[in-house]
């Protein structure tokens, strides 16, 4: 893949990731949070399911694997997105995006604790930088807001979903997994909406435009471009650019919503961005080192 094409696509997908926080906040006057999240992913899930059926992608053959997809959807879509949408009621899109995108840092922590995965020194430095960034960003808060807690939980759910996908993902077709986890997660969010809130949706041109943007551009297109890059290029190089997502989250919050750019937000965000870069950059390097060591061992044996 040439540099221009890679750069254009990576900017598109990370922009769609980050800017969705501001778009969601724009939609909250027209809908209750969980219902808006539910409608977004039910619509996106239905479209994706139709696509994978038409393309005759491989579906799970056992009930156990369908349950695993449901569990991933419960964490990745219902847990992550439900917390993001709830967080935006009380904190800015910039703060929510920064907190949510600390999830790669938590993957290192949870992977070590639950799966006994060994990470490099640079990745742990990335985790420490990220924690410093969160402390700087949120340490300036004069009062505690419940949205901060929801933002942190969104990162926790995303990290756990990532580890589940790493553990179970190999048994699923990537497109099928993404389609059904979005649909299942959306249905769980719909149940949560009618259970935990007083759902409402004001249907007009603006609310419909926001819903369609979130469902098609921020979900389906963003997913398709991201996985195209992962499958057709260097996955380590692609993942390293995930740090652009919180950058676009802060930028879109400023441009679309007029959210102030506090010095603590900028400095803390930079620490988190550096942490995300170090954590993701070294996943691929670690694989390369392992391959080199394996080749060296084979050569020595010969």
Higher-pLDDT residue of 176 and 284 is 176
Residue whose C-alpha is closest to residue 237's, from 288, 271, 294 = 288
Alpha carbon distances (Å) from 200 to 28, 39, 80, 177, 203: 10, 11, 21, 30, 10
* 129-173 residue pLDDT tens: 877 877 776 665 545 678 889 999 999 998 888 888 888 878 888
Per the rule left: phi > 0, alpha: psi between -120 and 50, beta: everything else, 38 is alpha
- Full 3-state SS string of 34-88: HHHHHHHHHHHHHHHHHHHHHCCCCCCCCHHHHHHHHHHHHHHHHHHHHHHHHHC
Q: Rounded to two decimals, what is the model's pTM?
A: 0.83
Rounded mean pLDDT of 204-233? 90
Residue 104 and residue 243 in contact, taking contact as beta carbons nearer than 8 Å: no
* 173-195 residue pLDDT tens: 889 999 999 999 999 999 999 99
């Amino acid at each position: 893949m040439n540099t221009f094409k890679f750069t254009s696509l990576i900017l598109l997908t990370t922009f769609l990731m980050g800017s969705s926080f501001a778009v969601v906040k724009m939609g909250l006057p027209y809908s209750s949070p969980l219902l808006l999240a539910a409608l977004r992913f039910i619509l996106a899930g239905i479209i994706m399911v139709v696509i994978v059926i038409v393309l005759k992608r491989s579906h799970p053959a056992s009930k156990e694997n369908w349950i695993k997809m449901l569990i991933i959807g419960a964490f990745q879509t219902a847990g992550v997105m439900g917390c993001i949408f709830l967080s935006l009621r009380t904190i800015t899109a910039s703060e929510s995006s920064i907190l949510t995108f600390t999830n790669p840092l938590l993957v290192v922590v949870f992977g070590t604790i639950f799966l006994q995965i060994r990470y490099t020194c640079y990745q742990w430095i990335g985790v420490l930088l990220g924690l410093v960034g969160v402390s700087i960003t949120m340490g300036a808060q004069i009062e505690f807001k419940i949205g901060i807690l929801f933002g942190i939980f969104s990162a926790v759910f995303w990290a756990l979903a990532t580890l589940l996908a790493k553990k179970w993902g190999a048994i699923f077709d990537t497109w099928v997994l993404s389609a059904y986890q979005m649909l299942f997660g959306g249905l769980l969010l719909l149940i949560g909406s009618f259970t935990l809130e007083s759902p409402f949706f004001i249907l007009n041109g603006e609310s419909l435009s926001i819903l369609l943007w979130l469902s098609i551009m921020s979900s389906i297109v963003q997913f398709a471009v991201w996985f195209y890059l992962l499958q057709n290029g260097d996955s380590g190089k692609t993942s390293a650019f995930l740090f652009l997502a919180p950058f676009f989250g802060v930028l879109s919050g400023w441009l679309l919503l007029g959210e102030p750019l506090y010095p603590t937000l900028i400095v803390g965000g930079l620490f988190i961005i550096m942490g995300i870069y170090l954590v993701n950059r070294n996943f691929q390097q670690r694989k390369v080192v392992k391959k080199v060591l394996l080749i060296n061992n084979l050569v020595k044996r010969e």
